[in-house]
Copies of this chain bind each other. A is one copy, B any other.
Amino acid sequence: GYYGEFGGSFVPEMLYPNMEELQENYLEIMADPDFKKEFQGLLKDYVGRPSPLYLAERLSDKYKAKIYLKREDLNHTGAHKINNTIGQILVAKRLGKKRIIAETGAGQHGVATATVCALAGLDCTVYMGEIDIARQAPNVARMKMLGARVVPATSGSKTLKDATNEAIRAWINNPVDTHYIIGSVVGFHPYPDMVARFQSVISEEMKWQLKEHEGTENPNYVIACVGGGSNAAGAFYHYLDDENVKLVAVEAAGKGVNSGESAATSILGKIGIIHGSKTILMQTADGQIVEPYSISAGLDYPGVGPQHAHLFQTRRAEFLNATDDEAMEAGLELSKLEGIIPAIETAHALAVLSKISFKPDDIVVINLSGRGDKDLNTYIKYFNLA
């Protein structure tokens, strides 16, 4: 349950039985051939995996390297989130759970959870900050179309962190027949490990796809954005032990790292505990958790997954960041050069292409974690496209 000094299970006793049940069963369930078959089958026929590895020629020309995009945006529901929710719903079924709860920020994980609950015929409740409900109306509608209840989180800053709090509270209040599907590699053990394993299909595919395209499994760089960090965890997973592969995690710098409106956790955070996990965390000197800011609703989490904290501390991954402005321009650039409108989260990863000095034959894989349809309103306003 630990990555170096990070991770663990700092949960209230009320959640101990649920945590213990998960910890004791998740690896066994995941190793079961029936589970594997069902999981792989749904990833293939329902999610649409493998997601392509696409050589972006015009982007490559511009940044003078061989740039591949791992197309998680093409997954069902439009982001990598579904890899994890498919996995967890199958775990929940095997644990005999009848109800599912989840938190969501921008609504992508909420949609991915509502989706798998519809598929499995399980009751679904999604907690979402009252403010996010108002500004992410289309995703709220998607969840309702899928039969989920969306419950507003009215405490705190009424965004992702508070939705997570509410989901945990809901679990405390209904511990027995309920499973909580966390959307990122955050929270207490075994969540960071379980979610990373479900997302590891990303780098698993990258390896054989790169082998097909380039004759080598290993790129020179893997670049991914990090909020909680699930897409990065999946993209890094099978490269962690190979020091030749440079791992680049990109955080949201908001209006500038030192502007007071940022989500660059690795720079601004200190070691602390959030949602049951010891990690790097944006907080006051007094240990109160600070609400981060980013134009992207999926990156404004005040912490980072414990494994990422470890990768940062050990320097195995390089942590860069991109401001709102840099991300928006990178999103527009990809749209115009490659015909792919990325999620604003993903656009942060693209924004560091200009900050790295590549060699011409460097192979770079950017994890294109999600599509930008959900962000059109933000793009429209920002670039005045209406």
For A372, list chain B residues within 8 Å (CB). 145
Q: Which residues of B contact A339 (CB under 8 A)?
A: 114-119, 146
Whether the Cβ atoms of B52 and A142 lie closer than 8 Å is no
Is B142 touching A373 in the complex (CB atoms < 8 A)? yes
Which residues of B lie under 8 Å from residue A147 when comparing CB positions?
A: 335-336
Query: Which residues on the B side are within 8 Å of A138 (C-beta)?
Result: 373, 376
Size range of the chain A interface in the assembly: 35 or more
Q: Is A14 part of the binding interface, using a Cβ–Cβ cutoff of 8 Å?
A: no
| 9-residue interface stretch from A41-49, A229-237, A288-296, A305-313 | A41-49
Q: Can you name the residue of chain B whose Cβ is closest to the Cβ of A71?
A: B48
> Which of the candidate stretches A4-12, A154-162, A186-194, A378-386 sits at the interface with the other chain?
A378-386
Does A121 have its Cβ within 8 Å of any Cβ on chain B? yes
Q: How many angstroms between the C-alpha atoms of A48 and B141 in the bound complex?
A: 26
Cross-chain contact A386 with B141 (CB below 8 angstroms): yes
Give residues of chain A (74-120) contacting chain B, Cβ–Cβ below 8 Å. Answer: 74-76, 78, 114-119
Q: Are A141 and B45 in contact (CB under 8 A)?
A: no
Decide yes or no: A386 and B137 within 8 Å by CB, A121-B58, A335-B118 being known contacts.
Answer: yes
Interface string of A136-170 (1 = CB under 8 A from B): 01100110111100000000000000000000000
In the bound complex, residues from chain B placing their C-beta under 8 Å from that of A117 are 339
Interface string of A339-373 (1 = CB under 8 A from B): 11100000000000000000000000000000011
Asked if B48 and A74 sit within 8 Å, CB to CB, the answer is yes
Copies, count: 2
Instruction: Kindly state the separation between the CA atoms of A356 and B48 in the bound complex, as whole angstroms.
Output: 29
Contacts of A385 in B (CB 8 A): 141, 144-145
The interface residues of chain B lying within 8 Å CB-to-CB of A137 are 380, 386
Contact A379/B141 with A74-B74, A118-B336, A339-B115 known, Cβ cut-off 8 Å:
yes
Q: Give the residue name and chain of the B residue nearest to A78 (CB).
A: B373
- Whether A24 is near chain B, meaning CB under 8 Å from some CB there, is no
Q: Contacting A146 at CB < 8 Å: which of B46, B73, B341?
A: B341
Measured in the bound complex, the distance between the Cα atoms of B339 and A46 in whole Å is 10
A109 to chain B, nearest CB (A): 14
CB-CB nearest in chain B for A341: B145
A176 at interface by CB-CB < 8 Å = no
- Tell me whether A55 is interfacial, beta carbon within 8 Å: yes
- Tell whether A54 is near chain B: CB-to-CB under 8 Å: yes
Q: A202: shortest Cβ distance to chain B, in Å?
A: 15
Smallest Cβ distance from A224 to chain B, in angstroms? Answer: 19
Q: How far is the CB of A122 from chain B (nearest CB, A)?
A: 11
Contact, CB under 8 Å: A336 / B146? yes
Q: How far is the CB of A334 from chain B (nearest CB, A)?
A: 9
A/B interface sample: 5 pairs, CB < 8 A: A45-B55, A46-B52, A118-B339, A142-B341, A146-B336
Known: A78-B373, A117-B339. 6 other contacts (CB 8 A): A44-B52, A48-B48, A58-B119, A74-B76, A138-B376, A147-B336
Q: Which 5 A-B pairs have the closest CB atoms?
A: A115-B339, A118-B339, A48-B74, A119-B339, A147-B336
Which residues of A does B touch, CB under 8 Å? Answer: 44-46, 48, 51-55, 58, 71, 73-76, 78, 114-119, 121, 137-138, 141-142, 144-147, 332, 335-341, 372-373, 376, 379-380, 383, 385-386
